[in-house]
Amino acid sequence: MKWSDLKLGLIAFLALFAGKIATAQQLTAGQNLRLDDLSAFNNPGSNWSIAGKVISDSKVAAELKALKGTGVLLNSPGKNGTDLLTNAVYGNMVLELDYLMAKGSNSGIYLQGNYEIQLTDSWGKIKPLSSDNGGVYERWDDSRPEGQKGFEGYAPRQNASKAPGLWQHLKIVFQAPQFDGAGNKIGHAKLLAVELNGVLIHDQVVLFGPTRGAADKEKAVGPLRFQGDHGAVAFRNITISELPGAWLNGMQRGGERADPIYIEAPVNTMIRSFVDVRPGLRAVHAISVGSPNGLHYSYDLDHGSLLQGWHGGFIDATPMWDGRGDGTSRPNGAVTRFAEQLIPAVAQLANLQTAWPADTTGTGFRPKGYIMDQEDRPEFIYQTYGVQVNDAIKLAEDGKRLSRTVTVNKPDSKMLSSTFPKLYLLLAKSSDIEEITKGGYLVDGQSFYIQTDAADKPIIREIDGKKELIMPLGAKSTYYISF
C-alpha cells in the first residue's frame, strides 16, 4: 500500500472517529441544555438572555416581557440581533423543546446550523406554506430564474400553531447526512418525523441540501442554531436525545393505521360521540363542532361545559367506526383542554367561598338541545336553577378565537330577588390562572388565554388548591378564548 493511500485512509478514519467522539461526548439520552446561564452557547449576542418567565401582550406586536429567574432562553433582537449556536455539535438526534412567539414574530431552528424549521406567528392561517410555522424553509439558488430561486420547501401538513404568547411544543426526529471515509456524501439528511403540539406535520422528508441562510456546507455533525435577527421568541425545556437505531434509514413511524377514518369540515359541521377528556374520564353525551377555518371544539351536553378546542383537521373517527368501534372520536389537530373535570358551567353560589358543585344534582339541570343559526352553528340550550340558559360558542370575527356568549332567559320571581344567591359562569379551572392585562387572563401554564370585556369583572378564587376564574352571570355574558 502506498503511503499516500495509507495517509488518506488514516485521515478518513480519524475524521470518522472524531465525529463519533463529538457525538458521544455531547449527546446522551435525554440531555437538557442548561438554561440557568448562557454557557451552553458559543459567544451569545446581547439580544440573548435568560429569564424565569416571559409574557406577551396579545395586542402588542414583536415584544416579550421578561421576568427574573432561570429556565427560559429569550431573544429580544432589537436592531442588532444575532443567531445563537450551541457549543455542542450533533449528528442524528431527537430534539424536543417548547417555544413561545410574540405577536407577528419570526424565528427558526437550524439543525446542524443548516436545515431550518421555521418558527413564526401563523396563528389562524388556514393553508400554511413552507414559510409558516413548522415549515421546512426553502433552499435557494440565485442563478435560477425569478420566481424559481426558492425550491424544495415543505409546508406543514396542517396548521397546528397556537396563539402568540402561548407555549408550543416541537419534536424533531432528525437523521444527519452520511459521508464515506473520503468525505463524500452518501446519504441525505432526513426529517424522519416532526410533531408540532402533538400533531405530525412532516413524515420522512428528505433534505437534499441546506436551506436558505445555511451556516456552512453539509457535514456529519454540527451545532443547533437559533435564529435571532428576526423577532422576539423564547425557548425552554430543550432536550436532545439519541436517535433510536430503529429509526435509521427511513423506518416508518409505528403504531398507526394505514387507513384512518377522518372527517373534515369544509362547512360548519357537527358530530355526536363520546369524548375522552383525559385518561379515565369520558363525556358520554358530547358534540364536536367543526369549521372550515380549522378551528373546532367539543361540548359536554350533560353539564353545559366547553371541553376542548383544537386547530387543524376536524375529527379522527377511527376509534368510533373501525370494526365494532367504541363510540369515541378524537380531534385531528393540536388540542387544548379546557376542562379537567365534568362539572357544570353555571352554578349558584351563596358566597365566594362556596365550592363549585361537582355535578348537576339539585340544580334542576335539563338539556333542551340546540338551535341552529343561519350559518349552521349551534346554540345550546338547557335549564338550571329555574332559568333557561342559551350558550352560543362561535368563531370570533377575526376567525382565530372562540367567542362564547351565555344568555339567561325567563328567570322566575325568586331569581330576581336581591337576596337570592347569584349565578356564576365558570370560565376556567386550573392550578395556574393570572391576569396579565385588563380583562386578559393566562390559564394553565400559558396554555390558553381568556379575554373578557364584561362589566362584571371575572374573579380569580382558590378552592381546595385549585384556582377558578368565575364571572357573575348577567342577562348576557361574553368572553373570548385564544389557544
Q: What span, in angstroms and rounded, lies between the C-alpha atoms of 351 and 344?
A: 17
pTM as predicted: 0.88
Res 2: pLDDT: 41
Categorize the per-residue pLDDT at 304 as very low, low, confident or very high, splitting at 50, 70 and 90: very high
The SS3 call for residue 219 is coil
Joined together, the cell numbers standing for residue 420 give: 337570592
With a pLDDT cut of 70, the percent of the chain lying above it is 89
Q: Mean pLDDT across the stretch 164-188?
A: 94
CA-wise closest residue to 249 among 161, 197, 184, 175: 175
Whether pLDDT at 58 is above 80:
no
Mean pLDDT score of the chain: 88
Res 79: pLDDT: 74
Sequential DSSP letters for 92-160: SEEEEEEEEEPBT-EEEEEETTTEEEEEE--TT-SS--TTSTT-BPPEE-TTSPTT-SEE--B--SS--
Whether pLDDT at 237 is above 70:
yes
